[in-house]
Amino acid sequence: MPKAVDDGQVRQVVALPAIESSLDRANTRLRLRQDLCEVACRTAVEQNGVRLAWVGVYRPALDRVEPAASHGADSGFVESIWMGLRDPEVDRGPVARAMRSGAPVIANDLLADEGFQYKVAAQLRGLRACAAFPLRLGDDTIGVLATYADTVGFFTDGAAAVLTSIAERLQAAVVSLGHDLPWPTGDEGHRNGEDRIRLFHRLAEVLREGSDPDQVLRRATRLLGEHFRCSVAYADVAPDGDSFAIPYDYVVDGPSRVGHARMSDYGPRIAGLFRSGDAPVVIEDAEALEPEEAEALRARGIRSFVCFTLVRQGGCRAMMSVHQPTPRVWKPNELRVIHTFVERCWATIEQRAVEAKLRNNEALLRIAGRAARIGGYDIEVATGHVTWSDEACAIHEVPAGTTPTMAQAATVVAPEHRARVEAAFVACASGGPPVDVETQAITATGKRIWMRIFGHAVFDRTGALERLQGAVQDISDRRQLEEQVRQAQKMEAIGQLAGGIAHDLNNILSVILTYTEIISDDLEPGGHLRDDLDEIRRASQRAAELTRQLLAFGRQQMLQPRIVDLGAIASGLGNMLGRLLGADVELVLRLGAVDKVRADPGQIEQVIMNLVVNARDAMPEGGTLTVEVANTLDGAVGASGRFVMLAVSDSGDGIAPEIRDRIFEPFFTTKAMGKGTGLGLSTVHGIVTQSGGHVVLESELGHGTTFRVYLPRVDDPDEPIVEPALPLTARAAGETVLVVEDDPQVRVVVGTILERSGYRVLSAHSGTDALRLAAEPDATVDLVLTDLVMPRMSGREVAQRLASLYPAAKVLFMSGYTQDAAMRVGVVDRGIAFLAKPITPDTLLRKVREVLDSR
């Protein structure tokens, strides 16, 4: 490389007198201008030691600098400079600063120059210092002479003085030719200009007609190759930034480049230029490159080429190259043509990709809008014009494209909500919060829906209201779900209340029923006192039935499920149902052979009785009542699994649609005062749900009602169907029963019954008290009879702790509480000994004997 010029060793510039004397020999002013620029660049490089020199002309109409001539290393770097100067806010390098200040600028270390934007491209090309000299015409800067060296600190005062002299003589020479543009506009002749016009006209047709990117690039590659009479290749770069694939090319001379390759195959310096993408890679003669680089290009039949890379988001995405097997000097205007051609191709393809993505997003947005029932609106305040999206039109049940006025759009809101909605829009239009209201709306067909309205105001630059924009959403389904949740929460709260009430009532009824039995046993038969006690007993039993209903509708009763046959249960109730219905109602039983289910037989009987009574009341003038039991097909009822169906149908008037949603509510009844408690159907719903099934209502006004109960069937039952227990005959055999009960009255009455029957009784008011009694030296325990739910220590915990003292003792739980409470203390429905309150002497003694005699 040439050495830097030292101070005091300023070489005589011998070329400029030759340029001045050549004025007489030039044929045209245009050729003279071009000669001046080219000779100035050669002089700077060949006689003054710089590595690259170029002359740029300022185009006021375009507000940019374009190269008119260059000489030295890699003119592709010049292309990157003139492209960068298009944006003065971005490029603040030495050339740009010289153009804008009108004074020479020297940057003796480009890599340390904060304003220089092309450090990677310069470093890869070995350019380390720059000196830029503006060319002036009066007060205007009309061009620049830019020089680059490969040594930091190259531009000393002496070197700068020589280059300043070259710039001044060039300026004087071109100005002497006239005050118009002192160098070519980039066109080298009328014919070449027409060729370029035709090229870009044909390219515009290709870009306009082609919709497929591959088709566009294939045709564009041929156009560019035919224009330059060179081979052209397009490549897609892989994400690794090195591998690339050439799907198609245009070949004039040499082999096809179609296939796969790597940037690194061309050597590290050229690969780095490819990846940087800040300037085209321009090779005029590969034989002047490093040996390994020249060999890589020679193997591919390439002697000279120009390659533009597409860099997006910090990485190289694609490349397009023009190449030939012979040397070629690529002129600046040719580089501009290639660059413009490639940029237009890529811009169009990217635009098509964005448009396709936009169309896809719009389609997805429409799908999402339909799924979420969301539509948009736009209100132009000045004209009152309202635009609804297609989905908004669908929500309002009007044809797509409907454009109502503001007054018409306002009538969509239900009258009772209009003032509130209007106030929200007025506040938003006045600079207040965005609109967000839920309201009822009336569609074009008269249907009422719940709608959520969002919106915001758009103001112009003066602060005046311009438009209101937003969205509407049909939230009817959500509101219905919220209402269902509120209803479920209400029923849950009532159920919890019922459970608490039933617990206390069962304790009280246990005392009443037990003492009634005790007193009745002590009286002589036939006395009036005994008759009075029978009335007390019957009233208590009705009260006990009421507590069972309260627990059933709340799904909080303690079920004792067994393997049962629904057909057998319904058949066993046949005679009773006939008497219950009366002579004016015909009972039809359709009881085929069905699979077994797991359920509490007593509760299933209650379900049938409640449905039959409800059906009878729906036919005050008589009719037909049908009880049917049948298997269902898999999935036939909209739920997974297989079910056995129990259906009760009547021929009454049917249930009105407006009350069907409330039919299972507790205490809801359509019967006259005193004719019903409103617990019958809620009890059915609670029992069936607690048993793992569900109830379906089918009713049509004038055509009767059917309630279908579906219970999951049991395949290959592993336990036999349990028969009713035989009457109690055995009495106590001297066993000791530890009674644990926190209610004192229940504890006393239970102990009294057991002692009268011959049992030895230990009574404890708590778990702690029970453990104390059981630990006494002379204590024995054969049976632990404990309440499930007690303060501080549950019945299950009592039984577990006593098991260590009396491992052979049996356990019998009793409770008047809910199933949920029993589950919390660890009791399950299957495989336990359980006695439900209220208790009577007979049920208590029977259960105690059964547990003591069990294995």
Residue 846 pLDDT > 60: yes
Q: How far is residue 263's CA from residue 307's CA, in Å, rounded to a whole number?
A: 12
Of the ranges 170-174, 283-287, 362-366, which is most confident? 283-287
Question: What pLDDT is attached to residue 26?
Answer: 38
The 3-state DSSP class for residue 297 equals helix
Question: What pLDDT is attached to residue 654?
Answer: 84
- Calculate what percentage of the chain has a pLDDT beyond 70: 80
Q: What is the pTM of this model?
A: 0.40
Task: Determine if the peptide bond prior to 838 is cis (ω within 30°).
Answer: yes
- In the beta sheet, which residues pair with residue 626? 588, 649
Mean pLDDT score across all residues of the chain: 79
Question: What pLDDT is attached to residue 529?
Answer: 78
For 91-147, how does the pLDDT look when each residue is reduced to its tens digit (9 = 90+)? 688 988 898 888 999 999 999 998 887 887 788 778 899 999 999 888 888 889 999
**One-letter amino acid for residue 803 of the chain:** A
Question: What pLDDT is attached to residue 785?
Answer: 93
Question: What pLDDT is attached to residue 90?
Answer: 57
Name which of 452-456, 676-680, 775-779 the model is least confident about. Answer: 676-680
For 747-773, how does the pLDDT look when each residue is reduced to its tens digit (9 = 90+)? 888 888 898 888 999 999 998 999 999
For 297-313, how does the pLDDT look when each residue is reduced to its tens digit (9 = 90+)? 888 888 888 888 887 76
| pLDDT band at 538; cut points 50, 70, 90 | confident
For 568-624, how does the pLDDT look when each residue is reduced to its tens digit (9 = 90+)? 888 887 777 777 787 888 888 888 888 888 888 878 888 888 888 888 888 888 889
Q: What is the mean pLDDT of residues 727-746?
A: 78
Question: What pLDDT is attached to residue 620?
Answer: 81
Name which of 171-180, 332-341, 409-418 the model is least confident about. Answer: 171-180
Question: What pLDDT is attached to residue 3?
Answer: 37
End-to-end CA distance of the chain: 109
Helices (H), 327-439: 332-372, 390-395, 406-410, 418-429
- Residues whose CB is less than 8 angstroms from the CB of residue 722 and which lie 6 or more positions away in sequence, other chains included: 562, 563
Residue 809 pLDDT > 50: yes
Question: What pLDDT is attached to residue 546?
Answer: 64
Of the ranges 137-141, 530-534, 544-548, which is most confident? 137-141
- Calculate what percentage of the chain has a pLDDT beyond 90: 13
Question: What pLDDT is attached to residue 638?
Answer: 53
Residue 294 pLDDT > 70: yes
CB 183 within 8 A of CB 34: yes
**One-letter amino acid for residue 347 of the chain:** A
For 139-179, how does the pLDDT look when each residue is reduced to its tens digit (9 = 90+)? 888 889 999 999 999 999 888 999 999 998 888 887 776 54
Q: Is 570 exposed, middle or buried (0-12, 13-18, 19+ CB in 10 A)?
A: buried
What sign does the dihedral 517-519-524-530 (CA atoms) show? negative
Q: Extract the tokens encoding 537.
A: 């007993």
For 549-572, how does the pLDDT look when each residue is reduced to its tens digit (9 = 90+)? 555 544 455 556 778 888 888 888
